[in-house]
A and B are shown apart, each in its own frame.
Chain A
């Protein structure tokens, strides 16, 4: 069956490597995934962004065939996954959120095992192991037991284990949790390399900075539902304001009529968090004085003022009414 036509971020018609339609999965009365749909094409990094518990891992688990969906459809290169031994699974590589390695075995023995799960053996396996270790920069530590590795090295090896069988689609479930900035950068470089090789990467994260930096397109999930999808620019365009004023009040505990402030013509959005109010405006130079004047007229003095560009945090806040960090 031919793949569906996928409209990529650049608007060019591409064949979707991964096609997910209307996935639903409930545990008891809780809907972990509630109608999630997404597509990902070749040479693309698709970010699956949402707070912890949003349904990202469940979505990835369903895509990888680990969890059976109550309803919905998943196609890999146009084909659905049918059963445990479906050869289509070879097109998928999964990087679990946990460091899924045997500490007591060497890196090479770990990779030999995980390669064998996909039928790799002999020279083919050795070549694949060498290439994967080379990519993640661990070739010179291949014979060491994993328990001697740093957290960042383990994360890199965790990713290498999913690359051995040269999958077309790589599912990365929070692959940078707990790693140092240096290892994070190294992982990002690896992912960019894989994108350049034409791989499809689905990258789940709750780090907005990572998503902004790495992903070509984003699917924002909250409470099992897709709340927004598109490129970073697409998402920003959905914001009522492109700039934010972050105003730290002198008296954080004093009541403030947010509704009244939000009703000003110059104000596009307003939110308050920990003594700081964030006011969305389109034109900083022209609209800031009106906001400050309103504060002064209502008896609120401020000690610090700064402007921010709109971010994914702003997008999430705008779409859900909650901060992703607080979710």
Chain B
């Protein structure tokens, strides 16, 4: 009964296209949200990265504390603002700043002394917003480099540093617990630093720049985002379009299921069952139309992403099409499953939306799955949407080849079969 099969498929497509609002929502909504997410989560297109807002409470006002503040302010990743302690605490509490650093009085002198002797280290207070703990860790790393640079520079060229060296030399001389050989070696090292400090101070007095700027971090980094090929920046739109397309096509799957339940309410199911049609024709025609519509939406949405945001199947166009087709079939089966398990459109709608949102979230459509805890990442391997999103990522911006599409395609087709078998098993064939 080919004519019945194609007539049923044609009917579904006509109904879908006839509802312009639904078409617009199904296509425009993922495009709009994916465009927004792609922009927000970094397109890699040279957009300015947001800075971490931090507050500095400088209670010391020494050359070292001022140098530390200046070093932090020079960091591209930070937006530094001076503050009082009370104001800093209040702003962090309200979430207006991620981190506040409180440099205590006497920090400069104490830090210089502690540089060589290691005792009585001064303490910098770090107030941070617990919801931005990762940013606090990053700020502490930058702070460490800034302090080391400022303190060592003072030791080698500043008056405070020279006083600290003198004090250290006197302490070594007075220390009775230290072996004479150790005393001699350490005194020679500090004495050399003392002379180096004098030399730099004399140059400064003569109007020349000191030669040493202190200890500096002995390396730089060269960063490269590893994408499909060298020199090609990461396109964040690829992931966001994959995620949003997956989400909205699953919503379409819900519509398929609810639509089949509505057939019963509207008496159409009676008409279909009265005709000499096999169950295979009735269900496969709906699955075919749903898969065809899903595939078409994926093509339109990714077509838009390609034209407007340059998202391409950098790895394998064939793999991309395979994953899209497998996901479309899975969506169709998902719709049939809803129709089979739902008692009524009303009860099925709420539950299927919940399941869909869980699948979308755990599938990494909203945020990448690597941000999840390890156990959850393992769990999401059982969620077909995870394979769809990861698979689309692989063949688009990661630039992986056809082989990378095999596993996602297999999992999605396996899910489609599983959903389909359960749907056929549990489907209520009798008319109400």
Contact = CB atoms under 8 A, between A and B. Distances in A.
Interface of A: 61, 64-68, 84-87, 89-90, 92-94, 96-102, 104-105, 109, 112-114, 116-121, 161-162
A90 to B, nearest CB: 6
Contacts of B14: 104-105, 109
Contact of A66 (B6, B11, B430): B430
24 contacts: A61-B431, A64-B270, A64-B273, A65-B273, A68-B430, A84-B278, A84-B279, A85-B278, A89-B274, A89-B275, A96-B267, A96-B270, A97-B267, A98-B266, A99-B266, A100-B270, A102-B15, A105-B15, A105-B18, A113-B7, A117-B272, A117-B277, A118-B4, A119-B1
Contacts of B4: 116-119
Given A113-B11, A117-B277, A118-B276, 7 more contacts: A66-B431, A87-B276, A89-B274, A98-B267, A102-B268, A116-B3, A119-B4
Contacts of B271: 94, 96, 100, 114, 117, 161-162
A112 B7 contact: yes
Contacts of B268: 100-102
Interface of B: 1, 3-4, 6-8, 10-11, 14-15, 18-19, 265-268, 270-279, 430-431
Nearest to A122: B3
Contacts of B10: 113
Contacts, number: 93
Nearest to A58: B431
A156 to B, nearest CB: 16
Contact of A118 (B19, B265, B275): B275
Contacts of A84: 273, 276-279
Nearest to A67: B430
B244 to A, nearest CB: 27
A243 B265 CA distance: 44
Contacts of A66: 270, 273-274, 430-431
A94 B276 contact: no
Contacts of B277: 84-85, 117
B274 A90 contact: no
| Chain A interface helix/strand/loop/mixed | loop
A98 B432 CA distance: 12
A61 B432 CA distance: 9
B271 to A, nearest CB: 5
A323 to B, nearest CB: 28
Nearest to A120: B3
A120 B11 CA distance: 15
Contacts of B431: 61, 66-67
B341 to A, nearest CB: 21
A254 to B, nearest CB: 47
Contacts of A99: 266-267
Contacts of B266: 98-100
A117 B403 CA distance: 42
Nearest to B282: A84
Nearest to B275: A117
A64 B270 CA distance: 9
A109 B17 CA distance: 14
B267 A100 contact: yes
A99 B270 CA distance: 11
Nearest to B276: A89
Contacts of B15: 102, 104-105
A102 B11 contact: yes
Nearest to B17: A104
The 5 closest A-B pairs by CB, nearest first: A98-B267, A116-B7, A100-B267, A117-B275, A66-B431
Contacts of B270: 61, 64, 66, 94, 96, 98, 100
